[in-house]
Amino acid sequence: MINAFVVLVLAGCGGKQAAVTTPTTTAAAPPATTTAAPTLTSPSDREACAVLQTKIRDVAALVSGSVELMTQSLHPQELAQRTGEAQRNLLLAAGSLDLMRVPRPLVIARRRLVIGLQSFAADFGRAKSAVVRNDMATAAGELSDPRSLSNVSAATKQINRLCGR
């Protein structure tokens, strides 16, 4: 996901040699044959779900766009600037989600999502500092954060389950 793009960007942008890493793969869970009924069914809850899920898609597009710009960086200085912009985008997205009113069953999942995004933002900040020092291997390592990814992934899955998607 994000990490694969960023590692490629950092490795290709010059500076210190990036450490060679072996990609890891995990078996995908078999697709579910049935969709669970949504927990949130009142009209106001359904509307809140739609708004939240739209914001989550917007956040995903924003992060994807930020990372795409990073992959187009030609020089470490440009990469550092774009990594900082990605960090700001993550923080803005997390703040926006954090301010949303959501039905009570979504509060914990939304909070976990916000924490994951904030943690990713901190990773991008540390990566930017490493890029400024021309230490691409460290920068790539900073963007490999399974805990943040787990928080974001689990939160979005729970939101989708509760909202019936």
* 11 neighbors 20 (Cβ within 8 angstroms): no
Q: What's the confidence (pLDDT) of residue 11?
A: 37
**Structural domain containing residue 137:** 2-18+39-163
pLDDT in tens, 92-150: 999 999 999 999 999 999 999 999 999 999 999 999 999 999 999 999 999 888 888 88
Instruction: Confirm whether 24 is domain-assigned.
Output: no
Q: Do 38 and 162 meet the contact criterion of CB atoms below 8 Å apart?
A: yes
Residue 63 lies in a domain: yes
Asked if residue 25 belongs to a domain, the reply is: no
Q: Is the pLDDT of residue 47 over 50?
A: yes
Number of Cβ atoms within 10 Å of the Cβ of 158: 18
Q: Looking at the domain assignment, is residue 29 inside a domain?
A: no
Please report the pLDDT score of residue 164 as a whole number: 83
Residue 155 domain-assigned?
Answer: yes
Q: Is residue 68 part of a domain?
A: yes
| 90 has a pLDDT exceeding 80 | yes
Q: Tell me the average pLDDT of the chain.
A: 81
Q: Which residues contact 98 (CB under 8 A, 6 or more apart)?
A: 110, 111, 114
Token output for 69: 């710009």
**Cα–Cα dist 76/73, whole Å:** 7
Is residue 72's pLDDT more than 80?
Answer: yes
Report the number of distinct structural domains present in the chain: 1
Mean pLDDT along residues 20-45: 56
34, part of any domain: no
Does 78 map to a domain? yes
Q: Which pair of tokens denotes residue 49?
A: 């779900």
Specify the higher pLDDT residue, 69 or 17. Answer: 69
What CATH number has the domain bearing residue 132? 1.20.120
Q: What is the 3-state secondary structure (H, E, C) of the chain?
A: CHHHHHHHHHHHCCCCCCCCCCCCCCCCCCCCCCCCCCCCCCHHHHHHHHHHHHHHHHHHHHHHHHHHHHHCCCCHHHHHHHHHHHHHHHHHHHHHHHHCCCCHHHHHHHHHHHHHHHHHHHHHHHHHHHHHCCCHHHHHHHCCCHHHHHHHHHHHHHHHHHHCC
pLDDT for 35: 54
* Residue-level pLDDT at 148: 87
Average pLDDT over residues 58-64: 89
What pLDDT is stored for residue 145 in this prediction? Answer: 86
